[in-house]
Structure 1
Amino acid sequence: MTSSEPIRQSPFASFAALVFAVLSILIFIGTAVWFWIQAPDTVASHFDSSGQPDDWSSKAGTLGWLVPIGVGIPVLFSIRWIWEKLPISLINIPFKDYWLERGERAYLFDCVMEFMRIVGGTTALLLTSVLVMIMREGRGATMPTGMTFLPTGVFLIITAASLINLVRRLRPPR
């Protein structure tokens, strides 16, 4: 491969991204079940900018909005046919026209799906950490401020790395 050729995706990378998304969803579901069994009836449902709880609700209410988001987003991001059925004009990614003009729609969507599955998986893991933080507060343990922001930082780093990888792989040869 020369430097002017695009960086092609290995089938393993696409499969690994799907496995990552599925495992992340399963970890989230397992944590939600643990939360349902172990959490007190009233839990912190909102945290201020310093990471301290400033609103409380029932654990059923908290799971009632967290579970659909924690499962729904990664599942939605992982189903390829949904994205392939959208009008291509709605998909806004760099260098899209270059690949479509060359008849490389499959490669384009391979790259997009790897990115979407990684972001979906990290979203599930971010919401898993939210459940753990809520549980700690519910049990009376406070989280150090740094630990409150760590999951968000990891989410942002992984998402940024995935975006950089997407752009790198879609960049046309020079």
Structure 2
Amino acid sequence: MASRIYDFSLRTSRGEELPLSRFEGRPLLIVNTASKCGFTPQFEGLQEIYTRYRDRGLEVIGIPSGDFGNQELDDNAAIGAFCHRNYGVSFTIAEKSRVRDPGAIPLFAWLARQGGLLARPRWNFYKYLVDRSGLLEGWYSSLTKPTSRRMDAAMLRLVWE
């Protein structure tokens, strides 16, 4: 059974294999995203966070999902293009995946186990901060903006540790 986030692998929206071990020793922000959701403008804040902290090692990974109201496009390449074209996203966008039970991808099943029952995403744009050792540091609901004081304080702790 996986004990750290670096034990998982994803595929990008371009179909490339993405072993999370590539980011070992770096803090991560994992977000379940959707292109047609009221929270979709949070892509701007996610990009802002990525731009602000990537030189300190932060990696942001968006994982599109249609689990909540089927608010995601069906084509992975179209999802990546939408994020880049409409929000200037330069961080990694993974392929569309299931993020809630039943059938959640192993990464989201692990995040739910690590964070407990309330950490399971109940809508799009749940955010998961992972420390440099690959362990879940904390999670934030859709209502918490990526640029909120609360998230920024947590981000600062992770990138300066």
TM-score after normalising by structure 1: 0.25
The structure, 1 or 2, with the larger RCO (C-alpha pairs under 8 Å, 6+ apart) is 1
In terms of Rg, which structure is larger?
Answer: 1
Indicate the structure with greater strand content.
2
TM-score (norm 2): 0.26
